[in-house]
Structure 1
Amino acid sequence: MRISDARYSRDLRRYQLAWWFLRLGARICTAQRWTGLSLYRIRTLYNAYAKGGEVGIPVKGFAPRQVRFFFRSGRLRSEAGVLAGFLAVYGVFPDERARGAAETLESVARGERLCRAYEEFKACWPEAQSTLEHAILLLEELVRGVQMAFARCLDCDSLIVVDLLSITPARCAFCLHERQ
């Protein structure tokens, strides 16, 4: 019997992704969903490696589910647009926005691209209020295309994220502020 390194590298990538999620402040359940590891293995990983203080206590409770978070203020509207741009540039969105694509988003490769995109976003905008969990919500909702979508600002033609259930015209936070 031959031992395959590919099998071990696959598992190693899953553990590395779980640790990356925890370092970025994701919930243990979120790391479990994206890596396929059991909750026990992720908790064991956290308990073994979080002693150095690099990672805070994992967030408990439910992950964000309300898209209105991104539309509460002009700053959050801008964050959503910039974060969606990073997700698009890093190839986190699936190639086809087919029906049911939001249910198949969780994979190790896409999770790695998601973490890279989020880290770059935080490097460019360190005081941003959006967490990795919000980035996942934004990704899921943009892929689903029911409540949110990409659009262009009517005034300045910049890329924005719009609320599809809103009756207000698609304008970026800056142009909305200028009009008031």
Structure 2
Amino acid sequence: MTILYGLLILVMLVGVVGAVVPGIPGVSLILGAIVVWGVVQGFAGLAWPLGVAIVVLLVSIGVDFLATYWGAKQAGASKWGQIGAVVGLVLGFLGLLPALPLGGPLLGILLGPLLGAIIGEYLYQRDLNLAIKAAVGILVGSLIGNLIQGVLAIATVVVFVVSTWSQIAGA
């Protein structure tokens, strides 16, 4: 049981990283690990961790959209910039951006939204300086959202460990 618990904690830590780094599953990975532990333990003592994980997953989705929207709004970005950022994220994720010797898909996920937002804003405003400003605003908003999601993910793991440690320590 201790080995499984340790492996699930490692999976949760990958989920914490995923909450901050685009392209890696985040809170959903943490929730999945909690569910696995619940199946093994019969969900004994998991009401709080499971509830917190579900709420954090829903809040994280909202934070992602709101932070990006806030960053775009602060920088004066239009819908074109936001759409360009999403298209850039998808293209970067799928690897359609030019392959670079270092970084690969992760670099595409990071650069794709920025380049997509610049292109989208430029098509809308025809001013490169405004397009870059809007794209940076979208990027900053996304980064702030990712940091908030990371803090929420850490809190979820802490709630899980505090709630379940006695099951392991007593075994």
User: How does the TM-score come out when normalised to structure 2?
Assistant: 0.29
Structure with the larger helix share: 2
The structure that is strand-richer by fraction is 1
Output the TM-score relative to the length of structure 1: 0.28
Between structure 1 and structure 2, the one with the greater Rg is 2
